[in-house]
Amino acid sequence: MGYQLGKRTSDPLPTSGRLLAIDLGEVRIGLAVSDPTQTIASPSETLQVPRNQDGPALDALVNAVARHEVSGLVIGEPRQLDGSEGPPAQRARWFAERLRARTGLPVALWDERFTTTEAERVMLDQDASRDERKQHIDRVAASLFLQSVLESQRRRRAG
C-alpha cells in the first residue's frame, strides 16, 4: 500500500494529561499509556489487526484513544539503522496524519529503533515464556519508548 503523506509530522505534546504510545505492527499494535502527570508509562493492551488492512486498525486506535481518555498521542517511527525512512516509517506518518484528523489531538512521532529488542531483553530477564513474549512484546516496546518521551518532556520542562 502506498501512503500519501503531507508535510507536518509531529506536534508539540501537552505537558499534562495521559499520553498514549502506539507501536505499529503488521498484525499487532502495542499500546502504552502514561499517568495523568506524565511520570510513568505502563503497557496497556495489544490490538490484533488484519494484515494489510489499515482502516480497521485506524478505527481500533480511535476507539483506544477514547477509552484511555488521552490528551496526546505518540507513534513509534521505525527508522532504519542509518536513520533513513523506509516503508514502516511512512506507514507511521500516515497513521499520525489520520489519527490527528480523526481525534483532533496532537500527535508526535518518536524514533523507536531497538525498542522491540529492548522489550525482548526485559521480558527474558523476567523469565517470560515465548508465548508471553509474543502476546506482550508490542505493548512493552510501546511503554519503553513512551517512557523515553516522558523523560524528554521532563528534561525540557526543567531546562
Residue pLDDT, tens place only, 113-145: 777 777 778 867 888 788 877 777 889 899 999
Task: Say yes or no to pLDDT of 60 above 50.
Answer: yes
Please tell me the predicted confidence (pLDDT) of residue 8: 54
Mean pLDDT along residues 60-79: 95
Residue pLDDT, tens place only, 82-117: 878 888 899 999 999 999 999 999 999 998 877 777
Rounded to whole angstroms, the Cα distance separating 48 from 133 reads 15
For 19-158, CATH gives 3.30.420.140
Please tell me the predicted confidence (pLDDT) of residue 1: 47
Task: Say yes or no to pLDDT of 5 above 70.
Answer: no
pTM beyond 0.75: the answer is: yes
Rounded to whole angstroms, the Cα distance separating 66 from 70 reads 7
- What's phi and psi for 35, nearest 5 deg? -75, 165
Mean pLDDT along residues 67-81: 92
| 15 CB-near residues (< 8 Å, 6+ apart) | 38, 153, 157
- The DSSP output letter for 113 is T
Please tell me the predicted confidence (pLDDT) of residue 153: 87
CB 1 within 8 A of CB 50: no
CB 13 within 8 A of CB 143: no
Q: Where are the domains of the chain?
A: 19-158
